[in-house]
Amino acid sequence: DSGVTQTPKHLITATGQRVTLRCSPRSGDLSVYWYQQSLDQGLQFLIQYYNGEERAKGNILERFSAQQFPDLHSELNLSSLELGDSALYFCASSVNSGSGNEQFFGPGTRLTVL
Amino acid sequence: AQSVAQPEDQVNVAEGNPLTVKCTYSVSGNPYLFWYVQYPNRGLQFLLKYITGDNLVKGSYGFEAEFNKSQTSFHLKKPSALVSDSALYFCAVRRGEAGTALIFGKGTTLSVSS
């Protein structure tokens, strides 16, 4: 167990809908990262937050947004969902924003868009 | 741009034999290199990293990796494979600067037979 929690574990929804994925980092970690894992794209970095502020952005669609709250938990919002958004979404955390820090991954949320 | 290549989709070894999972990278500046392992229906687990210093890095579960700057490689090795090592292995690279993303390879499935 990495100490990173993600809810829900599974999510099934329809095209056009909006969902929110939640992540709680390890105790003491200030950085949160979001990743999307799919068979065709592999593991893709979406976005990073550090102590409430956006720190790095990857291949995140405009329909997706995230935030990190004062208690350091983070939410990833996915809107106008398409079939191609079906994937495993991982949250990871690290102690700070340093590039040399290993990231600790949660168990993921499996999103299925029908 | 950063990139990671894992040239083998699958590596098959017999239990007790040495294993190698290959990784090459491309990054401007100094690379920070990582190996992660993913078991079925689980999040990624950190194995080891290279930041600076000794080119041979030792990590969890008896794994080690060798950083070779001239060949831009960071191959994962273990002297004696276990059936329980069977999993999906990811190599990842990050530039040594703040605000940069961790870029993952496509992953290599390791299958250890008894």
How many interchain CB pairs under 8 A, A with B? Answer: 58
Indicate the residue of B44, B51, B95 with minimum beta-carbon distance to A105. Answer: B44
pLDDT grade for A29, boundaries at 50, 70 and 90: very high
Which residues from chain B sit within 8 angstroms of residue A107, using beta carbons? 41-43
pLDDT 10s digits, A38-96? 988 889 999 999 999 999 898 899 999 999 999 999 999 999 999 999 999 999 999 98
CA separation, residue A57 to residues A4, A41, A44, B64 (Å)? 21, 17, 11, 31
Which residues from chain A sit within 8 angstroms of residue B39, using beta carbons? none
Selected residue of B47, B50, B102 to mutate for chain A interface (largest A Cβ count, 10 A): B102
Residue B1: its pLDDT value, please? 76
Residue B97 has pLDDT above 80, yes or no: no
User: In three state form, how does the secondary structure of chain A look?
Assistant: CCCCEEECCEEEECCCCCEEEEEECCCCCCEEEEEEEECCCEEEEEEEEECCEEEEECCCCCCEEEEECCCCCEEEEECCCCHHHCEEEEEEEECCCCCCCCCEECCCEEEEEC
Residue B98 has pLDDT above 80, yes or no: no
- Tokens standing for B72? 């831009």
A56 contacts B44? CB cut-off 8 A: no
Selected residue of A99, A103, A104 to mutate for chain B interface (largest B Cβ count, 10 A): A99
B106 contacts A99? CB cut-off 8 A: no
* Closest residue in B to A89 (Cα–Cα): B43
Strands A109-113, A10-13: pairing is: parallel
